[in-house]
Structures are given as structure tokens and as C-alpha cells.
Amino acid sequence: MACAATLSLALAPHAADGWRAELDRRLAALQPERSAEYLALAEDVMDRASTAPAPDVDRALARQLASLAGALDVREMGRSAALFLVDHAAADADRSRMLALAMLLDPSSDARVEAAERSEAVMSLVRAFALYRRGEGTRAKEALASSGAAALLERHPEILKGGSARFRADCEAMRTSGAPAMAQSQVDGLHSLAAGSIAGAPRSWSEALARVGAGPLPEVDLNDPRGLFGVDPNRCIWDGKGWTERQAAPLVMPAPVTVPAAKPRG
């Protein structure tokens, strides 16, 4: 994300209709409990960016606003923010991650469960091969045994001929022979398999590779809003120059309980 000094350039005058004053006012009014307002402002900033004095800076501000909206409330605003960022991502890797997130947060429960299961299987297989390439045979076998990764490997012989049986045999052999080498085509197959699980399950790994390339593998963890959207949700207050941390809610101490003294008997 752009630094605060750069983002402040987005506040340069846009037009005589008072857009700068409106932008100043709306930025200053943003509060984390009203996350939808961050996304609404992001849409307005992006709509006007093409006519702004510094279009790229305004677009960066819009992406920051949308990212904050999603990070502040992943369950309610995450999908809308992700779809906005799919349309306006600055890099293909960001677009892939947002596509994955939007799929997982789809309001259709069947689609969400299917996407989550597919994503978990792919990521388990990716982890298994990462351990495999490092020579950690025991942990690699454990990763292969989780989330349907072994069944997924059986359906993709281009990654490893012999499938899960060959994988386990290689892991056993690592005790004496070390980690086996993987060809670049096998690594590309892993990359494209992950991309395919996000971009609509292409018919083959080569089709997926042609579609998105062998870039970094996208990962999605709904419990990590900062990692998902690349922003710190605690730094969500605009002070006129940049984003600052929100104030912690004051602690409300319960009133002391007074126990009446016991009356003397007799």
C-alpha cells in the first residue's frame, strides 16, 4: 500500500464541484463500526480517479479503502470488498487471492463449502510437496493424508507419476537418499492446479497455466483479515495525512458491591 505521504496527494483538488471538501469530510468521518462506508467511498474515489490530477494515487486510495472495509468485517463486507478489488487489482496475484476470497464468502452455502473443500485439498497438497522438496518425509506424508490431498494427487499424474503411492515411497526413501528432485514442469503443475481451483477449475493444468501463469500460490485464511487484504484493520482512522490506530474502547469497571453488615443478634 502507498505510504501516508503519498496517499495524501489523493486529496488534491479534483473539480470545482467541491469533491475535495467532500472527500476530506467523508474520510474524517469514517469509523470502523461502519465498514460499509469505507467501501462506498472507495467506489466514489475510483469512479472519479480517471479525471483526478494523480489518477494512480487516487486508485491506490480506493483500493486501501476497500481493503479496510473487508478487513474490518470479513463476514459481512469481505465478499463485496473482494469483488471490488478483483475489478481494480494492481497485480494478478492480488486478483487471484481476491477471487479465492470472494468464492469462499459466496452466500450460496453449497458453493462456499465446495470451494473451501477444494481450496483446502489444494493447499494441503502444496504443503505436502513443500515438505517433500525439503526432505521432511514424515511431515510430508502427514500433509498428504489431510483434506483430500492424496485423492487430488491421484487425479493429477502430471505432478507426480505414480501418485500418492510414489509420493509415500519417496518419503520413506528420504531417510537414506535425501529429497528427490522435482522438474520445473511438476512445480508448474502445482502452481496451475492452485490457480485452477480459484479461477473456475479449468479442464487441464496446462489450460490453467496458460490462463494465469505460474505465479505465487494464492492462500486464503479467513481468520487473518490483515493477511487477506494486506492492511492493518486497527489503522483505520484518517487524521488528514494518513491512517492511524483507532482508540481502544474504554474499560467500564463494574460498580463495587456493598455487602450490608450483619445486624447483631439479640
Which tens digits make up the pLDDT trace of 59-71? 999 999 999 999 9
pLDDT at 258: 54
The 10s digit of each residue's pLDDT in 130-173 is 888 888 899 999 999 988 889 988 988 888 889 999 999 999 99
Choose between 164 and 95: higher pLDDT.
164
State how far the Cα of 130 lies from the Cα of 107, in Å rounded to an integer. 33
pLDDT at 206: 38
Instruction: Rank 25-34, 139-148, 195-204 by mean pLDDT and report only the highest.
Output: 25-34
pLDDT at 180: 85
Choose between 263 and 143: higher pLDDT.
143
Cα 211 to chain centroid distance, Å, stands at: 21
The 10s digit of each residue's pLDDT in 249-259 is 554 455 555 54
The whole-number average pLDDT for the span 119-127 is 80
- Label residue 197 by pLDDT band (50, 70, 90): low
In a 13 Å sphere around the CA of 96, the CA atoms on its Cβ side amount to 24
DSSP 205: H
Of 113-122, 134-143, 231-240, 241-250, minimum mean pLDDT range: 113-122
The whole-number average pLDDT for the span 118-138 is 83
**Cell numbers at residue 263, please?**
445486624
The 10s digit of each residue's pLDDT in 223-234 is 889 988 999 999
State how far the Cα of 143 lies from the Cα of 123, in Å rounded to an integer. 9
pTM above 0.75, yes or no: no
**Cell numbers at residue 262, please?**
450483619
- Label residue 113 by pLDDT band (50, 70, 90): low
Task: Tell me the domain boundaries of the chain.
Answer: 4-105+225-245, 112-212
Check: CB of residue 153 under 8 Å from CB of residue 167.
Answer: yes
pLDDT at 255: 55
pLDDT at 211: 39
- Label residue 202 by pLDDT band (50, 70, 90): very low
